A = this chain, B = another copy of it.
Amino acid sequence: MSGIIKVLREIFGSDVLSREDIVEYYAYDAQPIKGEIPLAIVFPRKAEQIRSYLVYASKHKIPTYIRGGGTALSGGPIPLVENAVVVSMYRMNRILDIKLKDMQVRTEPGITIDELNIYLGRYGLLFPIDPGSSAAATIGGAIANNAGGVKAVKYGCMKDGWILSLEVVLPNGEIIETGTNTFKAAAGYNLTGLFIGSEGTLGVITKATLKVVAKPKYRVAVRAYFGDEREAAEFVVKLLRMGLDPTAIEFLDRDTLEAVKRYSGLDYKGNAMILVEFTSSIREDVERRLNLLVEILKEEGAIDITWSKTDEEYQKIWMARKAAAPSLGNLKPKYLILDPTVPISKIPELVDICRKIANKYGLIIATFGHAGDGNLHPNVLYDPLDEEEFERALKAAKEISLETIKLGGTVSGEHGVGLEKIETFKKEAGREKLDLMWKIKRLFDPNGILNPGKLFPREYWEEIWGDRLSI
């Protein structure tokens, strides 16, 4: 074991942490399940170091977990094998190159999305994939999980054309460049797309070239309440058919609104809130859309419709949504946050199902999220000191995922399978598809050293790790 540390020090110099009291942090991400405390954390500064490490790790079968900002909500970066090495991309956080005339920027993976956008903002540019955790989430982690976020109604997710090329270190030590730095490309297999959403199981992303857009100069946020959750959800479906090109369509249910009220004092009406944002480089675009939206909201029975005339008002309208996750602690100390995603017409049904499951299990399930993409975040609240309640919460969470599959949806729209959703993902994908994915995994990582225990059910990992897996 100390042999490993010696080798790590040879490769990473002083950028190695190994004292237990420091590394416990790395047994967690942003969800409540704790993994194994790793043997060491390394902080590479360049791809060459990762290459050397992976060759060594492949040879000696060292379980390896890649970590970005640690904001993952499905257990993606937490170690599930003892004596693992965590590779933190924290120090590879430089912007390498900005090509204004190409509408592209090349970065290392450890930069946070907010940092990147502050930088791009100086040039009037924007990287529009905007997960809720953008202050801490890194570009690399967002790519590995195919992040989406609030603006996905307009811009889609990471895989939808925003990542032009990647530099990736493969477990055999090869460093490859996927794709080309062009908007269109049809030469060869889409390796870039294969790494996006691969959850750190295929290789280590060390550089990324991103497509950026002109930052819209104008924006308006519109807030409206509905008497009934289902009515609000049905409004979202209608709105999408109209071609108004909204940037965001968010939904908050009554429990979420109540939590926000207790947390921040923001009052509410009715039982559900809809938040719509329009953005454009042309002022009149947002005004015209605003007017049309308000008309439709009135027709559809929305109450207390308001919209932002100043930047301050814009921030205030968004505050209810942004405070949603932090404020849930006012209802219960902890929560499981899910990301079921359904065809958009099924949003009203998914909202109903969450409500019914909450009642069935005697739990609070606060639901909010990206209704415009069919992606909701039901939050199953529990008290960690009440073991029986935690058990019920886990059951309820699983039932929501299973009902989502029945609706033709996916158990994960933007958080990834990680550890939390392995069982339900197994059901969603089925044996043949999982086998095929596993073959791809073994092709890239024959020794199975990258992120062992994740994405695939235990029976797959046992081939390699046997009883060493702590799941």
Contact = CB atoms under 8 A, between A and B. Distances in A.
Nearest to A240: B103
A191 interface: yes
Given A159-B193, A161-B159, A417 B188 contact: yes
Q: How many copies does the complex hold?
A: 2
A260 B189 CA distance: 36
Contacts of A157: 161, 184, 186
Contacts of A455: 188
A171 interface: no
Contact of A189 (B184, B285, B440): B440
A103 to B, nearest CB: 6
Contacts of A104: 343
Given A281-B244, A409-B180, A186 B437 contact: no
A247 to B, nearest CB: 12
Contacts of A99: 343, 345
B161 A156 contact: yes
Contacts of A215: 243
A288 B284 CA distance: 9
Contacts of A145: 186
Interface in A169-191: 170, 174, 176-178, 180-191
Contact of A161 (B161, B421, B434): B161
A272 B69 CA distance: 49
A157 B455 CA distance: 29
15 contacts: A124-B241, A145-B186, A157-B186, A176-B436, A177-B433, A182-B409, A186-B197, A186-B413, A188-B433, A191-B436, A193-B193, A193-B194, A284-B288, A285-B288, A440-B443
A107 interface: no
A146 interface: yes
Contacts of A378: none
A124 B242 CA distance: 10
A52 to B, nearest CB: 17
Interface stretch (A3-11, A324-332, A369-377, A382-390): A369-377
Given A101-B237, A157-B161, A243-B213, A343 B182 contact: yes
Given A183-B344, A186-B413, 18 more contacts: A99-B345, A102-B345, A177-B433, A182-B343, A183-B341, A184-B341, A185-B412, A186-B339, A186-B416, A186-B417, A187-B410, A187-B411, A187-B416, A188-B429, A193-B193, A243-B280, A243-B281, A282-B288
A225 interface: no
Please list the 7 inter-chain residue pairs (A to B) with the smallest Cβ-Cβ separation, ordered nearest first.
A243-B281, A214-B243, A193-B193, A101-B345, A160-B161, A184-B413, A102-B343
A289 interface: yes
A194 B189 contact: yes
A65 interface: no
A439 interface: yes
Nearest to A428: B187
A415 interface: yes
A66 interface: no
Contacts of A417: 186-188
B282 A152 contact: no
A302 to B, nearest CB: 19
A421 B284 contact: no
Contact of A341 (B182, B282, B436): B182
A65 B349 CA distance: 44
Interface in A324-373: 339, 341-346, 370, 373
Contact of A184 (B148, B280, B285): B148
B187 A190 contact: no
A443 B433 contact: no
A184 B440 contact: no
Contacts of A160: 156, 160-161
